């Protein structure tokens, strides 16, 4: 049919299916593909959400440990005679991002 429109195909398919005729339509295939892609999008969205949640937990754990570790080291270091300057310099080696721009060498 030259000039057939999508609006005309759907009622024709329904009529043929009501007569128990075997039908094949590209529109039906497109709808099935659209449904499958929606399911795939939902699945990938759920996987991405779980991945972001796990990454968030890892980042939060790193931040909490960066704060809590030095406090656990202060007690044993002060019992062996460390002063405030010694404990600060020894625990700052594992915090490279805390370096200010004044401490960076001029290139």
Between CA 23 and CA 57 the distance in angstroms is: 52
Between CA 8 and CA 52 the distance in angstroms is: 46
* Structure token pair of residue 106: 């001029």
Model confidence over 55-75: pLDDT tens digits? 999 999 999 888 887 776 777
The domain containing residue 68 runs over which residues?
48-77
Per-residue confidence (pLDDT) for residue 3, from 0 to 100: 62
Residue 100 covered by a domain: no
Domain count for the chain, please give it: 1
Rg (CA), the chain: 33
Q: pTM, whole model, 2 decimals?
A: 0.52
10-14, 64-68, 91-95, 102-106: which range is least confident on average? 91-95
Residue 53 covered by a domain: yes
Residue indicated by tokens 């002063």: 83
First to last CA, the chain: 74
The conformation of residue 104, written as its DSSP 8-state character, comes to S
């Amino acid at each position: 049919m030259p000039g057939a429109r999508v609006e005309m195909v759907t009622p024709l398919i329904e009529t043929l299916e009501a007569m128990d005729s075997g039908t094949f339509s590209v529109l039906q295939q497109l709808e099935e593909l659209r449904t499958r892609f929606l399911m795939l999008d939902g699945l990938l969205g759920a996987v991405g959400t779980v991945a972001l949640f796990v990454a968030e937990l890892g980042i939060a754990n790193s931040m909490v440990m960066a704060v809590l570790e030095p406090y656990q080291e202060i007690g044993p270091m002060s019992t062996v005679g460390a002063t405030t300057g010694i404990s600060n310099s020894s625990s700052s080696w594992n915090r490279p991002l805390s370096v200010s721009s004044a401490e960076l060498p001029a290139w």
